[in-house]
A = this chain, B = another copy of it.
Amino acid sequence: MPNHVLVEVTRGALVESVHRGAMAIVDVEGAVRFALGDVGAPVYTRSSLKPIQALPLIETGAADAFGVSQEEVALACASHSGEPMHTTRVAAWLKRIGCGEGDLACGPHMPRHEPTSEAMIAAGQKPSRLHNNCSGKHTGFLTVAKHLKAPIAGYVDVDHPVQQAVLTSLRRLSGIADPTWGVDGCAAPNFAIPLAAFARALAQLAGLRTPGAQRILSAMMAHPELVSGTGRSCTALMRAANGKAAVKIGAEGVYAAILPQAGLGVAVKIDDGASRGAETAIAIVLEKLGIIDSSTDLSRAPVLNTRGALVGEKRPAKALVEARI
């Protein structure tokens, strides 16, 4: 039984493309409050895992030992746009822990933020590993490695103490003993668990049922632009939620929301991996849960042509519009 269509993209009078997917909402007691589609098959959590990947930074005591700021905790949870506000902070943090760009295991890529990448091209600058959207997460990993006096080299090996600490946190929060893993875009291990289990883990963070949760949620909600970047979905949703949600997108159509006041975790996976689908799906759910105001219209987006004319719309499909969440 294929998953429902969650999001549709129109052009003129027709629906041109559709995004199927699954979604789970779980409460702090671990009860599934809402599920749509297959929430039992393992899905890679991708960058939506970052708030959990950042837990050892707090819970091992590494953050306190190295004077890690809340801005830096936000960067540890970030898929950032490579803007100067991101890269300068990551560089300073790396230096403070006695590391440098060369210690990062992630590869370089151009900043997602166009004005930044255009300025770099104009200046003849190549991207560094600092520009990798995961450089904050990796600096968090390095901070933990330093604190644990574990080797810096190989900190992204799944058997390294840092990754084992992440895995221990994920096991505890999700209840999944043995997650599948693959290699993420940034070379770190990424774990795959059922969507319902992922929502359960996020709900455990929402309920502050692990020591590091408060600090991670506060950091993300206080610094949405550091978790994401100028003009992006996570930034807009966290600003609109105004302290009621920490959200994190992941590659291949994943989206996570941690709702501390509601005591819920929400996990979305779009089958085809489209971010545009995940962004619309999470936004309508946050609207329905009263986390963001529907007047912000974050769950709908115009489709414009190259002349700027309105030619269609991206919107929630029937299964989400009619869902009793």
Q: Which A residues are closer than 8 A to B by beta carbons? A: 2, 9, 11-14, 16-20, 42-44, 105-109, 118, 121-122, 124, 132, 180-187, 190, 192, 252-253, 270-274, 277, 305-309, 311-312
Contact = CB atoms under 8 A, between A and B. Distances in A.
Contacts of A180: 12-14
Contacts of A187: 305-307, 309
10 contacts: A2-B20, A11-B190, A13-B180, A14-B182, A16-B273, A18-B271, A18-B272, A20-B272, A187-B306, A272-B272
A16 B14 CA distance: 29
B132 A306 contact: yes
Q: In this complex, which of A124, A180, A306, A311 has the most chain B Cβ atoms within 10 angstroms of its Cβ?
A: A306
Contacts of A274: 272-274
Given A17-B272, A121-B118, A122-B121, A182 B11 contact: yes
Contact of A185 (B108, B277, B306): B306
Contacts of A108: 306
A44 B16 CA distance: 7
A50 to B, nearest CB: 16
Contacts of A124: 122
Contacts of A308: 107
A81 to B, nearest CB: 15
Contacts of A122: 121-122, 124
Contacts of A43: 16
Contact of A312 (B9, B14, B118, B182): B182
Contacts of A182: 11-14, 16, 311-312
Contact of A192 (B14, B44, B252): B14
Contacts of A305: 107, 183-187
